[in-house]
């Protein structure tokens, strides 16, 4: 005759409030820190909502209306029109022209800026003396006022009496009107923008080059790899995240170019240097607030799409 014993249930210890279950009581010190943090952040949040988030949302709503003003003394007439403003922009020949100008500015400026910045960074990385001097000298145009830079370049590139045409005239060459021709105006602005903007990427690339492992380069050199092979197969892959960052911030800046054309060419000749941002500025100046808002959001969509494409092309691969 077998006897069956009944198992005795084990006692489950109650979890302590500090480990398994959250405590119902909040530390007074942490509560005071949270309140102090919100009090300090409240002015920024208020300013952000009033001067950033509010205008952005208001302009988005305006892009779906027929808001315009021909006289500042008359009230605004607001009528919801849906996507009509966006359709009108795509059908506007001037908007299509400024879109092509912006794309040309982007396609010419971004690769050239990154190439010049990378070449200068590689050269500075091999210097042992005066590296700080050249780094400051190349970065100086970045912190200089874009209006002042544009005015100086405008006088340098003048057709009559400009420094560039005067110098090439010493060799018997009749210089063109760099800013007065539909053929040379936009490339001239690109060259000026590259000169002004490559300093930012140069500093970033120089810092990234100094982080490339020296042992990889020395091992490749001992195996007989040439300088170009080391740069192509070791340095560039190591710089991929930095190149992605540089491409994104440079592209966003070039898509929004405005001051150079506004000061140097006023969008001319024949709208050959007018950008989407310049077109938006004109629409707001004419009182076409809804059309200007729609153009701004089309540019925003273009920036988002371009950034996504760059992340797909330059992202890290396994």
pLDDT band at 2 (very low <50, low <70, confident <90, very high): very low
Report which of residues 64 and 6 the model is more confident about: 64
Domain ranges of the chain: 87-314
d(CA 276, CA 280): 6
Name the class of domain 87-314.
Answer: mainly alpha
pLDDT at 11 over 60: no
| Span 264-279, average pLDDT | 90
d(CA 115, CA 103): 18
pLDDT at 14: 55
pLDDT (tens digit per residue) in 151-193 = 999 988 888 778 888 888 888 888 888 888 888 899 999 999 9
- Residue of 78, 101, 98 lying closest to 295 (CA atoms): 98
φ and ψ at 80, to 5 degrees? -75, 125
- Measured CA distances, 15 to 9, 21, 23, 26, 27 (Å): 18, 7, 11, 18, 19
pLDDT at 97: 94
Contact of 147 with 263, CB cutoff 8 Å = yes
pLDDT (tens digit per residue) in 113-123 = 999 999 999 98
């Amino acid at each position: 005759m077998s006897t069956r014993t009944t198992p005795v249930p084990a006692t489950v210890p109650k979890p302590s409030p500090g480990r398994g279950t959250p405590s119902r009581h909040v530390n007074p010190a942490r509560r005071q820190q949270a309140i102090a943090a919100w009090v300090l952040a409240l002015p920024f949040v208020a300013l952000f909502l009033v001067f950033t988030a509010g205008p952005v949302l208001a302009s988005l709503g305006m892009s779906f209306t027929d808001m315009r003003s021909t006289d500042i003394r008359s009230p605004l007439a607001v009528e919801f029109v849906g996507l009509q403003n966006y359709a009108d922009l795509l059908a506007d020949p001037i908007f299509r022209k400024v879109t092509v100008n912006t794309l040309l500015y982007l396609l010419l400026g971004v690769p050239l800026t990154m190439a010049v910045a990378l070449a200068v960074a590689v050269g500075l990385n091999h210097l042992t003396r005066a590296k700080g001097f050249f780094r400051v000298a190349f970065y100086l145009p970045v912190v200089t006022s874009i209006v002042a830079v544009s005015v100086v370049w405008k006088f340098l590139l003048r057709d009559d009496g400009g420094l560039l045409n005067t110098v090439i005239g010493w060799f018997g060459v009749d210089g063109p009107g760099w800013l007065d021709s539909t053929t040379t105006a936009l490339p001239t602005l690109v060259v000026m923008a590259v000169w002004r903007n490559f300093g930012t990427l140069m500093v970033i690339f120089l810092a990234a080059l100094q982080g490339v492992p020296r042992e990889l380069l020395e091992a490749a050199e001992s195996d007989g790899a040439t300088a170009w092979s080391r740069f192509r197969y070791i340095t560039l892959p190591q710089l991929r995240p930095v190149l992605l960052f540089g491409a994104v911030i440079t592209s966003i800046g070039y898509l929004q170019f405005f001051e150079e054309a506004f000061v140097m060419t006023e969008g001319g000749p024949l709208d050959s240097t007018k950008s989407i941002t310049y077109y938006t500025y004109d629409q707001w100046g004419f009182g076409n607030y809804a059309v200007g808002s729609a153009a701004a959001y089309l540019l925003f969509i273009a920036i988002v799409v371009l950034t996504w494409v760059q992340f797909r092309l330059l992202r890290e691969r396994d």
